[in-house]
Amino acid sequence: MTPGIQMELEKYRQKNPLEAVIRTVFTPVIREPADEDVIFVRKFASLTGDLQYLSKVDIECIALTRRLQIESGDTSKLRETPMTLKIDKTPKGKSKEKSNKNRKTESQVGFDCWIGSHNVNSYNMDLSDKDDRKVSCMTTDFAMQNVLIQMGLNVITLDGFIARTIRRWGQMCRACYEVFPNTSRKFCAKCGNATVDKVPVTVNSESGEIVARDTRKWVNTRGTIYTQPKPATGRNTKPYIVAEDQMLMPAFKNYMRQINRKEKKDSILHFYGEDTKENNISPIDIISSLNHVPIGLGKGNPNSNRWIQKHKRSLKSS
């Protein structure tokens, strides 16, 4: 395991001394991941759209798993680029027939069925004891599982099941319904509104267009009765972002630089202690802070009393 995972376990033991009963079945080996593997995982996760959902510990764990897989000698399943998007080959008008068939099969299967070697194939399970996997990563994080599977690495859950499914993510604009393959945008590239959400995407085999499957059909307009606050100046003021062009201004760059310094300092204190110097961390460990930038008034309902009490100072300045 990586030093970050060890620190997380120790932190959990300190917070939950009664619940953290960990049996010493084996002695863990602490190992640092290579810098080149960390850089590769970051680039790979950015292509799959999972980079902004992975922490520093998650990236180091994936990088160490890849290095151990290479050292084991079995590199036949490793991939340098993500897998192609899933092709949606279902013709129009046949989705209802397929759903009806699934309902019939689900109604036929009851709780009194016994799974054995005769019907194991119908449940997509494998009862064979032969398993030649030398390196595997145990995690319940879906973003980590998605990146590990697309890299060709073995993934197992806490119950011992093997994860085999892959999901690609994109973004959909709630205003103009434009679909983007990446998941790092804050504003829509077509209409410019900050109404983009993460959705699973597939590719149509006939037209080659990106198809987004989404169930949410409305935009939450809660808390939009307030007007925009007046621009304020000062050292501790946060930028009020309403358009993508504001991210190119010098004030926003200075704000991002301050957040990067704070997150870099917090990561050093968390993983390496208070006496560690900043020179011991490489530039690849700097966390991207774009996800922490609030768009507009940020999350929460400005109409609630709790939100007003928390943001009373910023409302007075406006």
Burial string for 209-236 (b: 16+ CB within 10 Å, else e) reads ebbbeeeeeeeeeeeeeeeeeeeeeeee
- The residue with tokens 């509104």 is 193
61 is in an annotated binding site: no
pLDDT value of position 170: 79
Residue 82: its pLDDT value, please?
Answer: 80
Q: Give CB contacts under 8 A, 24+ apart, made by 122-128.
A: none
Residue 313 and residue 251 share a domain: yes
pLDDT of residue 110: 38
**Does one domain contain both 267 and 312?**
yes
The answer to whether position 307 is within a domain reads yes
Q: Find the range with the poorest average confidence among 42-51, 254-263, 274-283, 288-297.
A: 274-283
Asked if the structure places residue 229 within a domain, the reply is no
Q: Does pLDDT of 314 surpass 80?
A: no
Query: What is the crossing angle of helices 250-272 and 3-15, to 10°?
Result: 80
Report the distance separating Cα 40 and Cα 119, nearest Å. Answer: 41
**166 vs 274: which has the higher pLDDT:** 166
Look at residue 174 and tell me if it is in a domain.
Answer: yes
Which of the four pLDDT bands, split at 50, 70 and 90, describes residue 60?
A: very high
Q: Is 173 annotated as a binding residue?
A: yes
- Same-domain pairing of 306 and 257: yes
Cα Rg for the chain, rounded, in angstroms? 24
Write out the residue range of the structural domain in which residue 196 sits.
Answer: 169-212
Residue of 143, 167, 163, 140 lying closest to 153 (CA atoms): 163
Asked if residue 303 belongs to a domain, the reply is: yes
Give yes or no: residues 207 and 259 share one domain.
Answer: no
Q: Which residue has better confidence, 106 or 245? A: 245
pLDDT of residue 74 exceeding 80, the answer is: yes
Same-domain status, 249 and 292: yes
Q: Give the Cα separation of 27 and 14 in Å (integer).
A: 20
Q: Strand pairing partners for 88?
A: 204
For residue 143, the model assigns a pLDDT of 82
**pLDDT tens sequence across 199-227:** 887 655 455 555 677 766 677 676 667 67
Select the more confidently predicted residue: 77 or 230: 77
Q: Are 203 and 261 part of one and the same domain?
A: no
Taking the C-alpha atoms of residue 176 and residue 291, their distance in angstroms, rounded to an integer, is 23
Q: According to the annotation, is 188 in a ligand binding site?
A: yes
The answer to whether the beta carbons of residues 106 and 127 sit under 8 Å apart is: no
280 assigned to some structural domain: yes
Average pLDDT value for residue range 76-99: 62
**In terms of DSSP H, where are the helices of the chain?**
3-15, 35-48, 56-72, 95-108, 142-151, 250-272, 305-310, 312-317
The three-class DSSP label of residue 203 is strand
The pLDDT score that the predictor gives to residue 39 is 92
Q: Which of 157, 189, 212 is the last residue of a domain?
A: 212
Phi and psi at 288, nearest 5°, equal -70, 125
**Residue 25 belongs to some domain of the structure:** no
Q: Global pTM?
A: 0.57
pLDDT at 310: 67
Tell me which of 191, 212, 233 is where a domain ends.
212
At 156, give phi and psi (nearest 5°): -130, 150
Place of tokens 């080996």: 29
Please give the tally of structural domains in the chain.
Answer: 2
Q: Residue 63 pLDDT more than 90?
A: yes
d(CA 208, CA 256): 38
Same-domain check for residues 205 and 257? no
- 48: tokens are 């799959």
137 is in an annotated binding site: no
With 70 as the cut, is the pLDDT of residue 52 above it? yes
Non-local (6+) Cβ contacts of 281 within 8 A are: 264, 267, 268, 272
Lowest mean pLDDT among 104-108, 190-194, 261-265: 104-108
pLDDT > 80? residue 151: yes
Is 302 contained in some domain?
yes
Instruction: For residue 202, report the phi and psi dihedrals to the nearest 5 degrees.
Output: -135, 180
Classify 211 as helix, strand or coil: strand
In a domain, 135, yes or no: no
